[in-house]
Amino acid sequence: MNQVPYIAVEGPIGAGKTTLATMLAAELNMPVLKEIVEENPFLGKFYQNIDEWSFQLEMFFLCNRYKQLGDTESQLIRQGTPVISDYHIYKNLIFSERTLKGREREKYRQIYHVLTDDLAKPSTIVYIKASLETLLARIDKRGRSFEQDMDRAYLQQLIEDYEAAMASLAVTEPETTIITVDGDAADFVANPEQFAEIADRVKARIAGHPLR
Ligand SMILES: Nc1ncnc2c1ncn2[C@@H]1O[C@H](COP(=O)(O)OP(=O)(O)OP(=O)(O)O)[C@@H](O)[C@H]1O
Ligand SMILES: Nc1nc(=O)c2ncn([C@H]3C[C@H](O)[C@@H](CO)O3)c2[nH]1
Protein backbone atom coordinates (compact mmCIF):
# COMPACT_ATOMS: atom_id res chain seq x y z
CA MET A 1 0.00 0.00 0.00
CA ASN A 2 1.25 3.50 -0.77
CA GLN A 3 -1.00 5.47 1.52
CA VAL A 4 0.37 6.44 4.93
CA PRO A 5 -1.47 4.27 7.49
CA TYR A 6 -4.31 6.32 8.90
CA ILE A 7 -6.53 4.19 11.09
CA ALA A 8 -9.88 5.32 12.48
CA VAL A 9 -11.57 3.29 15.20
CA GLU A 10 -15.34 3.58 15.05
CA GLY A 11 -18.53 2.19 16.56
CA PRO A 12 -21.55 3.38 18.50
CA ILE A 13 -21.45 5.08 21.91
CA GLY A 14 -19.44 3.13 24.46
CA ALA A 15 -18.24 0.45 21.99
CA GLY A 16 -14.66 0.86 23.19
CA LYS A 17 -13.19 3.14 20.51
CA THR A 18 -10.92 5.19 22.76
CA THR A 19 -9.83 2.07 24.62
CA LEU A 20 -8.97 0.12 21.47
CA ALA A 21 -7.40 3.10 19.68
CA THR A 22 -5.13 3.70 22.69
CA MET A 23 -4.14 0.02 22.88
CA LEU A 24 -3.45 -0.19 19.13
CA ALA A 25 -1.43 3.03 19.16
CA ALA A 26 0.79 1.63 21.92
CA GLU A 27 1.18 -1.69 20.12
CA LEU A 28 1.94 -0.08 16.74
CA ASN A 29 3.92 2.84 18.12
CA MET A 30 1.69 5.40 16.46
CA PRO A 31 0.42 8.74 17.72
CA VAL A 32 -3.21 8.59 18.83
CA LEU A 33 -5.78 11.25 18.20
CA LYS A 34 -8.58 11.36 20.78
CA GLU A 35 -11.85 13.16 20.86
CA ILE A 36 -12.14 15.64 23.74
CA VAL A 37 -15.37 14.86 25.56
CA GLU A 38 -15.22 16.40 29.00
CA GLU A 39 -14.82 19.99 27.74
CA ASN A 40 -17.79 19.82 25.39
CA PRO A 41 -20.20 22.51 26.69
CA PHE A 42 -23.28 21.15 24.89
CA LEU A 43 -23.20 17.42 25.59
CA GLY A 44 -24.89 17.50 29.00
CA LYS A 45 -27.57 19.88 27.75
CA PHE A 46 -28.07 17.78 24.61
CA TYR A 47 -28.87 14.63 26.58
CA GLN A 48 -31.43 16.59 28.61
CA ASN A 49 -33.15 18.05 25.56
CA ILE A 50 -32.04 16.70 22.20
CA ASP A 51 -34.32 18.82 20.01
CA GLU A 52 -33.24 22.04 21.69
CA TRP A 53 -29.48 21.48 21.64
CA SER A 54 -28.78 19.22 18.67
CA PHE A 55 -27.73 21.88 16.16
CA GLN A 56 -25.23 23.52 18.51
CA LEU A 57 -23.85 20.14 19.54
CA GLU A 58 -23.48 18.78 16.01
CA MET A 59 -21.81 22.00 14.83
CA PHE A 60 -19.47 21.95 17.82
CA PHE A 61 -18.40 18.35 17.07
CA LEU A 62 -17.99 19.12 13.38
CA CYS A 63 -15.85 22.25 13.91
CA ASN A 64 -13.65 20.55 16.48
CA ARG A 65 -13.12 17.44 14.40
CA TYR A 66 -12.48 19.48 11.28
CA LYS A 67 -9.78 21.48 13.07
CA GLN A 68 -8.22 18.45 14.74
CA LEU A 69 -8.14 16.37 11.54
CA GLY A 70 -6.95 19.29 9.41
CA ASP A 71 -4.03 19.84 11.79
CA THR A 72 -3.30 16.11 11.87
CA GLU A 73 -3.29 15.93 8.11
CA SER A 74 -0.83 18.80 7.68
CA GLN A 75 1.40 18.03 10.64
CA LEU A 76 1.51 14.22 10.54
CA ILE A 77 -0.12 12.39 7.62
CA ARG A 78 1.32 14.57 4.85
CA GLN A 79 4.72 14.32 6.56
CA GLY A 80 4.46 10.53 6.28
CA THR A 81 3.65 9.81 9.93
CA PRO A 82 1.01 7.10 10.47
CA VAL A 83 -1.85 8.02 12.81
CA ILE A 84 -4.62 6.30 14.71
CA SER A 85 -7.78 8.16 15.65
CA ASP A 86 -10.69 7.24 17.91
CA TYR A 87 -13.21 8.56 15.39
CA HIS A 88 -13.94 8.99 11.68
CA ILE A 89 -15.31 12.36 10.55
CA TYR A 90 -18.22 10.51 8.94
CA LYS A 91 -19.73 9.98 12.37
CA ASN A 92 -20.91 13.58 12.20
CA LEU A 93 -23.35 12.55 9.50
CA ILE A 94 -24.38 9.38 11.29
CA PHE A 95 -25.44 11.36 14.35
CA SER A 96 -26.75 14.50 12.66
CA GLU A 97 -29.02 12.61 10.29
CA ARG A 98 -30.78 11.33 13.43
CA THR A 99 -30.70 14.36 15.67
CA LEU A 100 -31.41 17.20 13.21
CA LYS A 101 -34.55 17.88 11.24
CA GLY A 102 -35.73 19.92 8.28
CA ARG A 103 -33.77 23.01 7.30
CA GLU A 104 -31.15 22.53 10.02
CA ARG A 105 -30.39 19.04 8.80
CA GLU A 106 -30.09 20.23 5.20
CA LYS A 107 -27.83 23.17 6.16
CA TYR A 108 -25.69 20.94 8.33
CA ARG A 109 -25.27 18.42 5.48
CA GLN A 110 -24.05 21.20 3.20
CA ILE A 111 -21.60 22.54 5.79
CA TYR A 112 -20.40 19.00 6.48
CA HIS A 113 -19.54 18.45 2.82
CA VAL A 114 -17.89 21.85 2.38
CA LEU A 115 -15.66 21.22 5.39
CA THR A 116 -14.85 17.55 4.98
CA ASP A 117 -14.92 16.50 1.32
CA ASP A 118 -11.22 17.22 0.79
CA LEU A 119 -9.96 15.84 4.12
CA ALA A 120 -7.68 12.80 4.00
CA LYS A 121 -9.66 9.57 4.21
CA PRO A 122 -8.58 6.85 6.63
CA SER A 123 -6.85 3.90 5.00
CA THR A 124 -8.47 1.58 7.56
CA ILE A 125 -11.54 1.69 9.76
CA VAL A 126 -11.64 -0.64 12.75
CA TYR A 127 -15.38 -0.92 13.33
CA ILE A 128 -16.41 -2.22 16.76
CA LYS A 129 -19.86 -3.70 16.46
CA ALA A 130 -21.74 -4.36 19.69
CA SER A 131 -25.23 -5.11 20.97
CA LEU A 132 -27.41 -2.73 22.95
CA GLU A 133 -26.82 -4.66 26.18
CA THR A 134 -23.03 -4.52 25.77
CA LEU A 135 -23.09 -0.80 25.04
CA LEU A 136 -25.36 -0.04 27.98
CA ALA A 137 -23.12 -2.06 30.31
CA ARG A 138 -20.02 -0.18 29.12
CA ILE A 139 -21.70 3.22 29.37
CA ASP A 140 -22.76 2.28 32.89
CA LYS A 141 -19.25 1.07 33.76
CA ARG A 142 -17.65 4.30 32.49
CA GLY A 143 -20.10 6.32 34.58
CA ARG A 144 -20.25 9.70 32.79
CA SER A 145 -23.11 11.44 34.61
CA PHE A 146 -24.78 12.93 31.50
CA GLU A 147 -24.96 9.51 29.79
CA GLN A 148 -26.61 7.63 32.62
CA ASP A 149 -30.19 8.02 31.34
CA MET A 150 -29.27 7.10 27.80
CA ASP A 151 -32.43 6.43 25.80
CA ARG A 152 -32.38 2.77 24.70
CA ALA A 153 -34.24 3.59 21.48
CA TYR A 154 -31.67 6.28 20.59
CA LEU A 155 -28.79 3.89 21.16
CA GLN A 156 -30.47 1.03 19.28
CA GLN A 157 -31.11 3.38 16.36
CA LEU A 158 -27.43 4.39 16.37
CA ILE A 159 -26.38 0.73 16.27
CA GLU A 160 -28.47 0.30 13.13
CA ASP A 161 -27.26 3.60 11.66
CA TYR A 162 -23.65 2.51 12.17
CA GLU A 163 -24.34 -0.75 10.35
CA ALA A 164 -25.86 1.13 7.42
CA ALA A 165 -23.04 3.69 7.44
CA MET A 166 -20.30 1.05 7.29
CA ALA A 167 -22.07 -0.70 4.41
CA SER A 168 -22.35 2.64 2.64
CA LEU A 169 -18.69 3.59 3.24
CA ALA A 170 -17.61 0.23 1.84
CA VAL A 171 -19.16 1.35 -1.45
CA THR A 172 -18.38 5.09 -1.46
CA GLU A 173 -14.83 4.79 -0.06
CA PRO A 174 -13.52 1.55 -1.60
CA GLU A 175 -9.91 2.54 -0.81
CA THR A 176 -10.71 2.23 2.90
CA THR A 177 -10.49 -1.26 4.39
CA ILE A 178 -13.07 -1.93 7.09
CA ILE A 179 -12.00 -4.38 9.80
CA THR A 180 -15.01 -5.41 11.87
CA VAL A 181 -14.48 -6.40 15.50
CA ASP A 182 -17.19 -8.28 17.37
CA GLY A 183 -17.42 -6.11 20.47
CA ASP A 184 -19.70 -8.58 22.27
CA ALA A 185 -17.41 -11.56 21.84
CA ALA A 186 -14.04 -9.85 22.00
CA ASP A 187 -13.03 -8.55 25.40
CA PHE A 188 -9.77 -7.10 24.16
CA VAL A 189 -9.27 -5.37 27.51
CA ALA A 190 -9.22 -8.52 29.64
CA ASN A 191 -7.84 -10.96 27.07
CA PRO A 192 -4.41 -10.26 25.57
CA GLU A 193 -4.93 -13.01 22.94
CA GLN A 194 -8.08 -11.31 21.70
CA PHE A 195 -6.31 -7.97 21.50
CA ALA A 196 -3.38 -9.63 19.68
CA GLU A 197 -5.80 -11.10 17.14
CA ILE A 198 -7.24 -7.63 16.39
CA ALA A 199 -3.77 -6.06 16.29
CA ASP A 200 -2.61 -8.75 13.85
CA ARG A 201 -5.45 -7.92 11.49
CA VAL A 202 -4.47 -4.25 11.57
CA LYS A 203 -0.77 -5.07 11.14
CA ALA A 204 -1.59 -7.21 8.11
CA ARG A 205 -3.37 -4.26 6.59
CA ILE A 206 -0.48 -1.85 7.08
CA ALA A 207 2.26 -4.39 6.31
CA GLY A 208 4.93 -2.99 4.09
CA HIS A 209 4.55 0.55 5.26
CA PRO A 210 7.39 1.73 7.50
CA LEU A 211 6.24 2.77 10.97
CA ARG A 212 8.22 5.19 13.09
N1 LIG B 1 -13.67 -4.83 25.07
C2 LIG B 1 -14.02 -4.28 26.22
N3 LIG B 1 -14.37 -5.09 27.23
C4 LIG B 1 -14.76 -4.58 28.41
N5 LIG B 1 -14.83 -3.26 28.69
C6 LIG B 1 -14.49 -2.42 27.72
C7 LIG B 1 -14.08 -2.87 26.44
N8 LIG B 1 -13.82 -1.80 25.68
C9 LIG B 1 -14.07 -0.73 26.45
N10 LIG B 1 -14.46 -1.09 27.68
C11 LIG B 1 -14.86 -0.18 28.75
O12 LIG B 1 -16.10 0.38 28.32
C13 LIG B 1 -16.15 1.78 28.61
C14 LIG B 1 -16.31 2.57 27.32
O15 LIG B 1 -15.12 2.48 26.55
P16 LIG B 1 -14.58 3.70 25.67
O17 LIG B 1 -14.61 4.95 26.47
O18 LIG B 1 -13.30 3.25 25.10
O19 LIG B 1 -15.72 3.74 24.56
P20 LIG B 1 -15.91 4.74 23.33
O21 LIG B 1 -16.43 3.92 22.20
O22 LIG B 1 -14.65 5.50 23.08
O23 LIG B 1 -17.04 5.71 23.88
P24 LIG B 1 -17.68 7.04 23.26
O25 LIG B 1 -18.55 6.61 22.13
O26 LIG B 1 -18.52 7.58 24.35
O27 LIG B 1 -16.58 7.94 22.87
C28 LIG B 1 -14.88 2.11 29.37
O29 LIG B 1 -15.16 2.04 30.75
C30 LIG B 1 -13.91 1.00 28.95
O31 LIG B 1 -12.95 0.72 29.96
N1 LIG C 1 -25.12 13.95 18.85
C2 LIG C 1 -23.84 13.58 18.75
N3 LIG C 1 -23.16 13.83 17.62
C4 LIG C 1 -21.86 13.43 17.45
O5 LIG C 1 -21.24 13.68 16.40
C6 LIG C 1 -21.26 12.75 18.54
N7 LIG C 1 -20.03 12.25 18.73
C8 LIG C 1 -20.00 11.73 19.97
N9 LIG C 1 -21.21 11.92 20.56
C10 LIG C 1 -21.53 11.58 21.96
C11 LIG C 1 -21.56 10.13 22.28
C12 LIG C 1 -21.02 10.09 23.70
O13 LIG C 1 -22.07 10.36 24.61
C14 LIG C 1 -20.04 11.25 23.76
C15 LIG C 1 -18.58 10.89 23.56
O16 LIG C 1 -18.37 10.21 22.38
O17 LIG C 1 -20.48 12.14 22.75
C18 LIG C 1 -22.02 12.54 19.70
N19 LIG C 1 -23.30 12.95 19.82
The answer to whether the complex's ipTM is over 0.85 is yes
In this predicted structure, what is the pLDDT of residue 210? 53
Q: For ligand 2, what atom is nearest to the CA of residue 139?
A: 13
Crossing angle between the packed helical segments 50-75 and 102-116, to the nearest 10 degrees: 0
CA-CA distance, 199 to 203, in Å (whole number)? 6
Per domain, the residue ranges of the chain are: 6-206
Contact 24, 10 (CB under 8 A): no
Nearest CA to ligand 2 atom 3: 95
What is the identity of the amino acid at 6? Y
Q: Is 165 strand, coil or helix? A: helix
Just give the CATH number of 6-206.
3.40.50.300
Contact predicate 212/5, CB 8 Å: no
Please give the number of the atom of ligand 2 that sits closest to the Cα of 61.
Answer: 5
Contact (Cβ atoms closer than 8 angstroms) between residue 48 and residue 149: no
Please report the sign of the dihedral spanned by the C-alpha atoms of residue 110, residue 61, residue 5, residue 13.
negative
Active-site choice (51, 71, 86, 151) = 86
Question: Which atom of ligand 2 is least distant from the CA of 147?
Answer: 13
The alpha carbon of 210 and the centre of ligand 2 are apart by a number of angstroms equal to: 33
Q: Is 99 in the pocket of ligand 2 (CB under 6 A)?
A: yes
Tell me if 91 CB under 6 Å of ligand 2. yes
pLDDT reported for residue 212: 45
Angle at 187 between CA 182 and CA 192, to 5 degrees: 120
Known binding positions for ATP: 11-19, 138-142
| pLDDT in single tens digits along all 212 residues of the chain | 458 999 999 999 999 999 999 999 999 999 999 998 888 999 999 999 999 999 999 999 999 999 999 999 999 999 999 999 999 999 999 999 999 999 999 999 999 999 999 999 999 999 999 999 999 999 999 999 999 999 999 999 999 999 999 999 999 999 999 999 999 997 899 999 999 999 999 999 988 665 54
Residue nearest to atom 3 of ligand 1 (CA): 187
